[in-house]
Amino acid sequence: MPKLSQTFDTPTKKILPFILATAIFMQMLDSTILNTSLPSIAKDLNESPLDMQNAIISYVLTLALFMPVSGFLADKFGTRKVFIFAIAIFSLGSAFCAASQSLTQLVISRVVQGIGGSLMTPVGRLALIKTYDKNELVQAMNFAIVPALIGPVLGPLVGGYMVDYLSWHWIFLINIPIGVAGIILSIKHMPEYRSQTIKFDFKGFVIFASASLLLSVSLEWLGNASNITPVLLIFTLGFVMIYYYYRHAKKTDNPIFPLNLFQVRTFRVGILGNLATRLGISSIPLLLPLMIQIAYDKSAVVSGWIVAPMALTAMFGKSFVLKILNTVGYRRTLMGNTFIIGFLICCFAIPGIETNIIWFVPVIAVLGFFNSIQFTAMNTITIADLRSSHTSSGNSLVAVNQQLAIGFGIAFGLIVLKLFEANTMGQTDPHAAFRYTFLVVGLLTILSGFVFRRLHHRDGDNMKTENLH
């Protein structure tokens, strides 16, 4: 784990990364526990495991819909108040999830969780951005993410043991004591930043949220639709709403996401790269546990142990990311790293159904290392050249883009899986459907690496730090 620089000499600078880590920890723990536990929850609720994506996508979509409001609420009411409110709502939603008796109730409870999560991480990250100088920011953000990566380590393991030896309800109840700890830390140490100039583009928010909703719903329905025409109409309407937002933002003084954000090349490339790359990467944490439990007929505990190394090596990767970026630069790091990730995803298609699942462990471990480098590099280059006046809106758009990409990636992965499963070979051999899906997702990820060719060799130099420890 990297050490905080000696320039982080105030209590706020020392504690703030831990506060943000608490928020990310809860979200990462929650999502990774759920991925491992879906087959068990599906059985208890009398649903198919492949139809349980609503429990994941409803949460991700809620994040994407409400994250645009996070910057405005933080500017108006203060980062501390909004952050504490967000953790409280997220914890309450977790309690509702544990009490759910049907898939519908679980989806509604996940929406409540999503409302809290949509404010929690963006507002915490906004406080981090406003507290640290740019040459400290990569190090501080990296430090905040390292403790949070414990979530994906514990998630598959704790989820597996809870499902096999207790019940799936406990995977949500575990968030409540963590949330209480986050609230206590925030009351004492979270800085209270506000903005003197507060305007909220409500019309722009409605247009953008409508576009996000239409695009997400169309992708979700695509996997189950018998008639594709209505789905394509909804998908097209989503792009029409994006164009409508573009027209609105051009003639509005203070749009929720200013168009001149995209005049900053590093921001433009970072947003597009995040969307393209995560479209392939995001389905893997869901597809792997499903394959191990459905195709290989292993328990949730075994699934958890197989997937856990991805998070352990991700923690290890955080210790190297600063040195790699300072030495190689953002352009070469992101291009090469994306190609490697795509190749590793394709490797999941190699083992046959008779192969020992231990074969997956080294591939999963190496993938976690490169994922760690990818996410830190993408997140920091995107905000590298933003002016301070654009920090709130830019930060919110980065968060929204990430969640939409995760939602699209999950939907895309499951659509591809269902298409191959419907094939004759897929019906007789469910493992074959997973193998072909990993090949498609891996090749898509490799192609997404070319997005980063638009970066210049010296992009991100202002984010470099002398202290690599």
The vertex-77 CA angle with 75 and 79, nearest 5°, equals: 65
Work out the average pLDDT over 355-366.
86
Tell me the pLDDT band of 467, cut-offs 50, 70 and 90: very low
Rg (CA), the chain: 21
The two structure tokens encoding residue 420 = 């191959």
CATH fold label, 11-200+256-463: Growth Hormone; Chain: A; (1.20.1250)
Task: For residues 346-360, give the mean pLDDT.
Answer: 83
Query: At residue 85, does pLDDT exceed 90?
Result: yes
Distances (CA, A) of 284 to 33, 105, 412, 417: 14, 26, 11, 12
Tell me the pLDDT tens digit for each residue of 114-165. Answer: 899 888 887 887 887 777 766 666 666 666 666 555 666 666 677 777 777 7
Instruction: Read off the tokens for 415.
Output: 């659509």
> What pLDDT was estimated at residue 343?
93
- Reduce the secondary structure of 112-147 to three states and give it as a string: HHHHHHHHHHHHHHHHHHHHCCHHHHHHHHHHHHHH
The answer, as to whether pTM is greater than 0.85, is no
Which pLDDT score is estimated for 132? Answer: 72
- 423 torsion bin: left (phi>0), alpha (psi -120 to 50), beta (else): beta
**Dihedral in degrees, nearest 10, Cα atoms 433, 434, 438, 439:** -30
% of the chain residues with pLDDT over 90: 9
Residue 468 pLDDT > 50: no
Q: Is 300 helix (H, G, I), strand (E, B) or coil?
A: helix
pLDDT band at 171 (very low <50, low <70, confident <90, very high): confident
Q: What is the 3-state secondary structure (H, E, C) of 432-443?
A: HHHHHHHHHHHH
pLDDT digits (tens, 9 = 90+) for 252-270: 877 878 787 787 788 888 8
Contacts of 3 (CB under 8 A, 6+ apart): 469
Query: Would you mind telling me the total number of residues written for the chain in this entry?
Result: 469
What does the domain layout of the chain look like in residue ranges? Answer: 11-200+256-463, 201-255
pLDDT at 259: 81
Q: Determine how many CB atoms are found less than 10 A away from the CB of residue 283.
A: 27
**How far apart are the C-alpha atoms of 449 and 468, rounded to whole Å?**
26
Least confident of 165-169, 360-364, 377-381: 165-169
Strands, E assignment, 227-379: none
Alpha helices of 67-102 — where are they, by DSSP H? 68-77, 79-98
Residue with tokens 């003084």: 253
Q: Is pLDDT above 60 for 425?
A: no
